[in-house]
């Protein structure tokens, strides 16, 4: 599970976290998730795999403030080799739900063409499937 400490610059004058930061934390958690399964963004890009966000959505449950510790649980909801859908559950240090969301990503070549991960990079495909099965 990824953890983020709310920074002062992420808050407004009342020290409440600005809503846009939850999307950033989703990305931080996604980068961490990929590193934990052995496929960092740097490795993917070195191989010519681009993974843009094609959809993002979220629901705010409870405000967070400067100094809070936010835990982000990332789970694979769907993976069909071309598109990956991840869901995120965020809780504060008291275990209270603060945000729930999802993001969808596709896989493209460095030329911007869709890529079938199962065929082109079976080791990456297998790593995602293994993580999915372990959830």
Residue range 71-103, pLDDT digits in tens: 999 999 999 888 999 999 999 999 999 999 999
Residues in the chain: 135
Segment holding 4, helix H or strand E: strand 2-5
pLDDT for the residue 38: 95
pLDDT at 51: 93
Q: How many domains does the chain have?
A: 1
- Spell out, as residue ranges, where the chain has pLDDT lower than 70: none
Tell whether pTM > 0.85: yes
Give residue 124's pLDDT.
Answer: 95
Q: Which residues of 46-70 are buried (b: 16+ CB within 10 A; e: fewer)?
A: eeebbbeeeeeebeeeeebebebeb
Write down the pLDDT at residue 68: 97
Residue 24 belongs to a domain with what CATH number? 3.10.129.10
Residue 80 is predicted with a pLDDT of 84
**Structural domain boundaries enclosing 120:** 2-134
Q: 104: alpha, beta or left, given left = phi > 0 and alpha = psi -120 to 50? A: beta
Q: Residue 108 has which token pair?
A: 């493209």
**Residue 21: CB partners within 8 Å, gap ≥ 6?**
6, 10
pLDDT value of residue 105: 95
* pLDDT recorded at residue 82: 85
CB 122 within 8 A of CB 116: no
Structure token pair of residue 121: 């990079």
């Amino acid at each position: 599970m990824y953890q983020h400490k709310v920074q002062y610059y992420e808050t407004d004058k009342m020290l409440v976290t600005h809503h846009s930061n939850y999307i950033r934390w989703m990305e931080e958690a996604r980068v961490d998730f990929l590193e934990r399964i052995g496929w960092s963004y740097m490795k993917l890009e070195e191989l010519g795999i681009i993974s843009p966000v094609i959809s993002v959505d979220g629901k705010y449950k409870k405000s967070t403030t400067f100094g809070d510790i936010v835990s982000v649980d990332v789970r694979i909801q769907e993976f069909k080799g071309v598109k990956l859908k991840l869901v995120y559950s965020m809780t504060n240090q008291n275990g209270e739900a603060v945000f729930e969301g999802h993001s969808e990503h596709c896989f493209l070549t460095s030329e911007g063409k869709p890529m079938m991960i199962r065929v082109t990079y079976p080791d990456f495909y297998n790593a995602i499937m293994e993580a999915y099965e372990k959830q």
